[in-house]
A and B are shown apart, each in its own frame.
Chain A
Amino acid sequence: MPFRGVHQAGIVTAAQGRMHFVALDVVSDDPQRLRDLLKAWTIAAERMTYGAEAAPGGAVGGGPWDVPEDTGEALGLPPSALSITIGYGPSLFDSRFGLADRRPAALRELPAFLGDDLDPARSGGDLCIQACANDPQVAVHAVRNLIRMGLGTVSVRWSQLGFGRTSATSRAQQTPRNLFGFKDGTANIMAEDTAALDTHVWIAPADVPGPAAWAAGGSYLVARRIRMHIEVWDRTPLREQEVIFGRGKLEGQPLGQKAERDIIDFAAPGPDGQPAIADVAHVALAHESNLGGVRILRRGYNFTDGSDGQGHLDAGLFFVAFMRDAHRQFVPMQRALASKDVLNEYIEHTGSALFVCPPGLSGEQDWGTQLFGRA
C-alpha cells in the first residue's frame, strides 16, 4: 500500500477487512514535542505500511537489555494492505500549539442531533489514527506502536476495533452487510468516480484559503459509533426490516426493483399500490436526490465490544465517512435521518468525532512539517 501520494491512503483505498481506530488528546503543551512526534510517527507509519517493524532496532535488534523498539506481534506477517491515516480534531487548533490560524474554517464541532446519546469518553479528540488492514493483528500492532511512541505527548481518549467492513469503496468490491444483515452503502462514491471524489470528498484549494491552504487535497472524517439494538431488530419481521431500509434483504435491490444496482425509483409502486419505498425509509432519507445532491464516501466497520453487562451484545456500526465539508454534507444528511428514520428505534449514536485528514505526503515530507508549516 503506497504511503505517500496526492491523498492519504485509507480513504479511497479499497476497504480492507479490519480496522483499529484511535482518538488521542495531546497532553503536552510543547508544540515542538508534538511536531517531533508527528515526524517520528510518519517514519514509523511508512515503515509499517510496507511490512517493516516500527523502528530499525525492531523487536529483537536492540539486544537483550534494551527495551524492544517494536512490540513484535506482527513479526512474520505480511503488510496485509495496511493503511495508516491521520486526522486532526478542532481542539488541536486552540491556543496551545500556535495552530489557531491554520485551522480550516469548516473544522468546527458537529451540532447535536436528535436522539444522540453521546458518551464524552467515546467522542472528540485532538488527533485520530485510522489503521485498516486485512489482518486485525497488523492493524492493532500499528496503532499500539504509534501510541507507545507518543506516551507523555499524547494520551488515548478512545479507540474502536472494527471487525468487518460495511462499505465497498471500489467497483471491484462486493457490497458487504451491516449487522442488521443488509447490504449497506450500495450508492457509495467509488474510487473510480474521480469527478465525484473531487466534488464530494477532497478539500479544494478554494475551500481553505490563506494559512489553512495546507489542508487542500485532504478530507474531513466523520466518525460515529452507532450502537445497534440487535436483539430487538432480530425479532422484527422480514417485511418490516425491508421497509425500514427500503431495500430487499437478500439482493439489496431497492424495493420495487430487481437488482442491487438498479436505479432507485421513489415513485415505483409496491404491492399495495403505494410507493414501494416509504419516504421515511433509510435509503430515501440518505439519498442525494432528497438532500440537494449531497453525497459522502462511507468507509465504516461493524463492531462488537463484547456484551453490555445486561445480556445484550454491545454491537453496531462504527460509521466512518469522508467528505469535503461535514457541515454541508454529513450534517444535513444526519439531520434528516435523526428526525425521520424509522431505523432510529433500533440504533443509538453513542460516540461522535470530526477530524480533518491532511492531504498525502510528498517526497521526504512528514506530518509535523505539513501541519506546522515548518520543520
Chain B
Amino acid sequence: MTTGALLALAACGGGADPAPSTGVGGPIAVVATDTECRVAVTTAPAGTITFAITNQGTKLNEFYVYAEGDRIMGEVENVGAGLSREFHVEIREPGTYETACKPGMVGDGIRAAFTVTGDAPAARSDNELLAQAVTGYHRWVSAQADEFLTETGKFVTLVKAGEVEKAKALYPTARSYWERIEPVAESFADLDPLIDGREDVVAEGMEFTGYHRLEKDLWVDGLQADTNAMADRLLADVTQLVTKVKATELNALQLANGSKALLDEIATGKITGEEERYSHTDLWDFEANFEGSKAAIAQLRPFLEDKDPQLVAAIDASSTALGELLESYRVGDGFALYTDLTPADIKKLTDSLDDFAEQVAKVAGIVAAG
C-alpha cells in the first residue's frame, strides 16, 4: 500500500474542519449544496490531491473522485449539513477524472470534469496493475467498514432509545455498508452469523442475534426485554469486525471472485425476498451488493482494459442496464419494498442480473491467467 493510500484511509475516518482554501498545494475547496457542487479548481498536478468539502445544504452529502468507468479514486461519505470534511486522493495518472457530490447520498451525483496534469508514468506491468487494484479496493472496503461502524452506532442508539420509527428508517441504510463489502466481511465466519444471521439458519446451540434479530423486534415482535442487550452486542460485534476487515489482506483473485459472489448473493437471497423478511427492504441490499460488485470490477478496470476490452464494454453495457432498471424502483431516498414488486418486476430484475453476472463471472479467469 502506498503512503498516499494510507493517508487517504486515515483521513476518511477523521472529522477535520479546516478553513477551505484554494492556494497552491492547499486543499481544493468544494462547496456542496442540495443542488450544486462547486469545486473551486478543476485541475491539479498528479500526486496527492486534497479536497475540503463543506456541506451548505440540508441533506447528508458525499463527495467522490472517479476515474473512467466510475472507478472510485477517493470518496468521503456522510458529510452532515453544515459540516466540513477534508480528504486526500492519490492520483498518479494524468488525465480526465470526474468529481461528484451526492446530496441525499443517492443517484449518480452532480458531476464535473477534473483534470490531472503531469507526465504519464511508465506503463505498468500486469502485477503493478493488479496490486494497484487491490490497494484501491482495500481502501474502499476500509472506508465502507468505517461507515458501517458509524451507522451501526447510530442505529443501536436509536434502538436503545426506543425510537422505533427512526431505527426502522435507518436500518436499511446502516446495513447497506455491510452488504457492499459482504465477501470480505463474511469471511470472518465467527462474526458473520452473529451480525447477519437469519432466524432459520441459526445453528443449533446458537442464539438469533444481530441485525435481523433487531429487524424482527422492530417490525414484528416489538421491543423485547433483551433488545437493548442485543443492540449492545451488535455494536460490539461490528466493532470487532471492522478492525478485522481493515487488517485483512486481499489479492486480485479475491476481488474478481468477490464481485461475482455479491451478485450470487442477490440472486439467491435478495431477489427472493428472503434476506429482509420482516422489513422487506431487499432492494436496498440489492443496490448495495451491486455497488460492491461494481467497485471491485472498477478497481480491476485498467488491467481488464489491457487484457479484454470487449469484456469491459460488455460489463459496462449490462451494468448500465441493471443500474437503470434498479433506479426505476427508487422511491424517495430508498426503494420500493419487496412486497410491492410484481412477479414481472422480479423477472425483469432477474434477467438483467443474470446478464451482468454472466459477464462478471469471466473476470476471475482473466485475472488468474495474468
A269 within 8 A of B: no
A375 within 8 A of B: no
- When A152-B318, A155-B347 are in contact, do A65 and B355 touch as well, CB less than 8 Å? no
User: A331-354: which residues lie under 8 A (CB-CB) from chain B?
Assistant: none
Complex interface bits, B327-370 against A, C-beta within 8 A gives 1, otherwise 0: 00000000000000000000100011011101101101101110
How many positions in chain A have a CB within 8 Å of any CB in the partner chain?
11
Which of A63, A67, A152 touches B361 (beta carbons < 8 Å)?
A67
User: Closest chain B residue to A64 by CB distance?
Assistant: B368
Whether B351 and A27, one on each chain, are in contact in the complex, defined by CB atoms closer than 8 angstroms, is yes
Whether A63 and B365, one on each chain, are in contact in the complex, defined by CB atoms closer than 8 angstroms, is yes
Across-interface contacts of A63 in B (CB, < 8 A): 365, 368-369
A66 to B361, CA, bound (A): 8
Complex interface bits, A276-317 against B, C-beta within 8 A gives 1, otherwise 0: 000000000000000000000000000000000000000000
- When A152-B318, A155-B347 are in contact, do A67 and B365 touch as well, CB less than 8 Å? yes
A62 within 8 A of B: yes
Min Cβ gap B313→A in Å is 13
User: B258-283: which residues lie under 8 A (CB-CB) from chain A?
Assistant: none
Which of B318, B351, B358, B367 touches A155 (beta carbons < 8 Å)?
B351
Across-interface contacts of A27 in B (CB, < 8 A): 351
Min Cβ gap A119→B in Å is 12
A62 to B368, CA, bound (A): 12
Across-interface contacts of B351 in A (CB, < 8 A): 27, 151-152, 155
Whether B358 and A65, one on each chain, are in contact in the complex, defined by CB atoms closer than 8 angstroms, is no
Whether B358 and A62, one on each chain, are in contact in the complex, defined by CB atoms closer than 8 angstroms, is no
User: Closest chain B residue to A27 by CB distance?
Assistant: B351
Across-interface contacts of B253 in A (CB, < 8 A): 65
Whether B354 and A65, one on each chain, are in contact in the complex, defined by CB atoms closer than 8 angstroms, is no
User: Closest chain A residue to B364 by CB distance?
Assistant: A65
Whether A65 and B347, one on each chain, are in contact in the complex, defined by CB atoms closer than 8 angstroms, is no
Min Cβ gap A350→B in Å is 17
Which of B352, B355, B358, B365 touches A66 (beta carbons < 8 Å)?
B365
Across-interface contacts of B318 in A (CB, < 8 A): 152
Q: Is the interface of B mostly helix, strand, loop or mixed?
A: helix
Across-interface contacts of A155 in B (CB, < 8 A): 347, 351
Whether A65 and B361, one on each chain, are in contact in the complex, defined by CB atoms closer than 8 angstroms, is no
Whether A152 and B354, one on each chain, are in contact in the complex, defined by CB atoms closer than 8 angstroms, is yes
Whether A65 and B368, one on each chain, are in contact in the complex, defined by CB atoms closer than 8 angstroms, is yes
A151 to B347, CA, bound (A): 12
A62 to B351, CA, bound (A): 26
A306 to B258, CA, bound (A): 37
Complex interface bits, A64-87 against B, C-beta within 8 A gives 1, otherwise 0: 111100000000000000000000
Across-interface contacts of B355 in A (CB, < 8 A): 151-152
Across-interface contacts of A148 in B (CB, < 8 A): 358
A66 to B253, CA, bound (A): 12
Complex interface bits, B138-167 against A, C-beta within 8 A gives 1, otherwise 0: 000000000000000000000000000000
Whether A152 and B365, one on each chain, are in contact in the complex, defined by CB atoms closer than 8 angstroms, is no
Min Cβ gap B215→A in Å is 30
Across-interface contacts of B356 in A (CB, < 8 A): 152
User: A101-160: which residues lie under 8 A (CB-CB) from chain B?
Assistant: 148, 151-152, 155
Min Cβ gap A122→B in Å is 13
User: Closest chain A residue to B343 by CB distance?
Assistant: A121
Which of A62, A64, A67, A151 touches B354 (beta carbons < 8 Å)?
A151
Across-interface contacts of A64 in B (CB, < 8 A): 368
A27 to B353, CA, bound (A): 13
Across-interface contacts of B358 in A (CB, < 8 A): 148, 151-152
Across-interface contacts of B347 in A (CB, < 8 A): 155
Across-interface contacts of B368 in A (CB, < 8 A): 63-66
Across-interface contacts of B364 in A (CB, < 8 A): 65-67
Interface centre among A27, A65, A148, A152 (most CB of B within 10 A): A152
A63 to B352, CA, bound (A): 28
A65 to B354, CA, bound (A): 20
User: Closest chain A residue to B351 by CB distance?
Assistant: A155
Min Cβ gap A150→B in Å is 10
User: Closest chain B residue to A67 by CB distance?
Assistant: B361
Across-interface contacts of A65 in B (CB, < 8 A): 253, 364-365, 367-369
User: Closest chain B residue to A151 by CB distance?
Assistant: B354
Complex interface bits, B301-336 against A, C-beta within 8 A gives 1, otherwise 0: 000000000000000001000000000000000000
A67 to B360, CA, bound (A): 10
A63 to B347, CA, bound (A): 33
Complex interface bits, A18-55 against B, C-beta within 8 A gives 1, otherwise 0: 00000000010000000000000000000000000000
Min Cβ gap A16→B in Å is 29
Across-interface contacts of A151 in B (CB, < 8 A): 351, 354-355, 358
User: Closest chain A residue to B354 by CB distance?
Assistant: A151
Across-interface contacts of A67 in B (CB, < 8 A): 361-362, 364-365
A63 to B364, CA, bound (A): 12
Complex interface bits, B63-87 against A, C-beta within 8 A gives 1, otherwise 0: 0000000000000000000000000
11 more contacts with CB within 8 A, not counting A65-B364, A66-B368, A152-B356, are: A63-B369, A64-B368, A65-B365, A65-B367, A65-B369, A66-B364, A67-B362, A67-B364, A152-B351, A152-B352, A152-B354
A residues bordering B, Cβ < 8 Å? Answer: 27, 62-67, 148, 151-152, 155
B residues bordering A, Cβ < 8 Å? Answer: 253, 318, 347, 351-352, 354-356, 358-359, 361-362, 364-365, 367-369
Top-6 shortest CB links A-B: A152-B355, A65-B368, A66-B365, A151-B354, A155-B351, A65-B365
8 A–B contacts from the bound complex (CB under 8 Å): A62-B365, A63-B365, A63-B368, A65-B253, A67-B362, A67-B364, A151-B351, A152-B351
